[in-house]
Amino acid sequence: MVDLKIHTNAGEGRENGFHAAVMRILLTDRTTRRNIVWATDDYEDCGELYRAECPITMDLLTGENAKLIQPRTTKTKSDRMSRTKGRAEVFTPAWMCNEQNNLIDAAWFGRPDVFNFSTNKGWKTNSAVISFEDKRGRRWKDYVDAKRLEITCGEAPYLTSRYDMVTGNPIEIRDRIGLLDRKLRVVSENAKDESEWLKWTFRAYESIYGFEYQGDSLLLARENLLYTFVEHMQNQWNRAPQPSELKRVASVISWNVWQMDGLSFAVPFGKTDVQGDEHATGSRDNIEKKEVYCKIRDWRSRKTLQYRTLVERK
Ligand SMILES: C[S@@+](CC[C@H](N)C(=O)[O-])C[C@H]1O[C@@H](n2cnc3c(N)ncnc32)[C@H](O)[C@@H]1O
């Protein structure tokens, strides 16, 4: 069994919790089959291997570097400002994510305030079990399967709200407002036993998606989603996940929350050399650079496809 404490901040498990195999999965880029890359020059002072185009590897994140990647709330003001200028990095407060997620649910359920109702820059959780219509496409399992995407997700506050991205304050499981948090609440309220709970918890993870350019934020998003699983398992079944369960959920996360430039739909720094013309002489003049377009997975149809084909579809 893995020794996993419940951490407030993503990042702590790198130092003293996650199994190396799980971390390796969280660092995987499913499109390139290599590791995600830094895609930020914030760490260049740490050495050659921290340049933006370099892969983030386990050894760059362990030992004395275990705390190198930290959530935005713990970064210095000047680091935050430079990331805001460079990459439009401004994180949304939890109350605002909640109001927007409530609109999505109001459309799905056909009624407002299903999980909570907004107060002035806050919310109050409804404690009654969420009710579903007994109608095709509107049952609890349909809600869990409904696909949701957070574009340019940063640390993924619209997907899971373990802590408020602006204040850094932790949020109790019952009061969380992320799109995944809501699905997990529904699973916990409806699954009749542990095996049904596990099946639908995995399906909840398979239905939520996010993409992000910067490798450090992407890793934090992935860790937040993994910790969410650990916390729900503890809360619901009073046990830590088995390594196989952690690896399975990490694998889904590494597919569904991926590194992409949202303007080109390609992997950052992922260009490959291709021969420019078919009568090429082999000279470097004929070499063109081609984007490596990101792949995503549709778990229900068991298909892998390029993200751009969804967006560019007429
Ligand atoms: C305004 S923040 C929003 C983060 C999060 N969704 C939130 O609401 O707190 C914008 C995020 O977009 C990312 N970003 C900026 N340009 C991007 C691009 N071309 N493709 C993908 N992500 C990008 C930044 O790295 C940053 O994390």
- Tell me the per-residue pLDDT of 243-283, one tens digit each, with 9 for 90 and over: 999 999 999 999 999 999 999 999 999 887 776 655 555 56
pLDDT value of position 253: 98
Q: Poorest-confidence range of 63-72, 148-157, 162-171, 211-220? A: 63-72
For the segment 128-141, what is each residue's pLDDT rounded down to a tens digit? 999 999 999 999 99
Nearest residue (by CA) to ligand 1, atom 15, is 87
Q: Which of 256, 261, 195, 187 shows the shortest CA–CA distance to 226?
A: 256
Over range 286-311, report the average pLDDT.
93
Q: Poorest-confidence range of 17-26, 142-151, 232-241? A: 17-26
Atom of ligand 1 nearest to the CA of 151: 6
What is the pLDDT of the chain when averaged over all its residues?
Answer: 90
Task: Give how far Cα 95 sits from Cα of 75, 154, 166, 299, Å.
Answer: 21, 17, 10, 31
103 has pLDDT over 70? yes
Q: How far is the CA of 130 from the centre of ligand 1 (A)?
A: 32
Strand-pair category, 116-119 with 34-35: unpaired
Q: How far is the CA of 207 from the centre of ligand 1 (A)?
A: 21
d(CA 228, CA 107): 25
Structure tokens at 84: 């805001």
pLDDT value of position 89: 75
Over range 224-242, report the average pLDDT.
96
pLDDT value of position 7: 42
Q: How far is the CA of 161 from the centre of ligand 1 (A)?
A: 17
d(CA 300, CA 85): 39
Q: How far is the CA of 145 from the centre of ligand 1 (A)?
A: 25
77 has pLDDT over 80? no
Tell me which amino acid residue 203 is: R
* Substitution candidate for ligand 1 out of 213, 224, 258, 267 with most atoms within 8 A of CB: 213
Atom of ligand 1 nearest to the CA of 91: 9
Q: How far is the CA of 225 from the centre of ligand 1 (A)?
A: 17
- Asked if residues 303 and 278 have their Cβ atoms less than 8 Å apart, the reply is no
Residues in contact with ligand 1 by the CB-under-6-Å rule are 87-92, 150, 152-154, 157, 165, 212-214, 217, 261-263
* Substitution candidate for ligand 1 out of 208, 212, 291 with most atoms within 8 A of CB: 212
In sequence order, the 6+-apart residues with CB closer than 8 A to the CB of 309 are none
Q: Which of 223, 220, 269 shows the shortest CA–CA distance to 75?
A: 220
**Residues 229, 234, 240, CA angle at the centre, nearest 5°?**
80
Nearest residue (by CA) to ligand 1, atom 10, is 89
For the segment 3-34, what is each residue's pLDDT rounded down to a tens digit? 333 344 445 556 555 678 999 999 999 999 99
**Which pLDDT band, with edges at 50, 70 and 90, does 288 fall under?**
confident
Q: Poorest-confidence range of 181-185, 265-269, 309-313? A: 309-313
Q: What is the CA radius of gyration of the chain?
A: 20
* Substitution candidate for ligand 1 out of 81, 152, 208, 211 with most atoms within 8 A of CB: 152
Question: Exposed/middle/buried for 128, CB within 10 Å: 0-12, 13-18, 19+?
Answer: exposed
Strand-pair category, 116-119 with 122-125: antiparallel
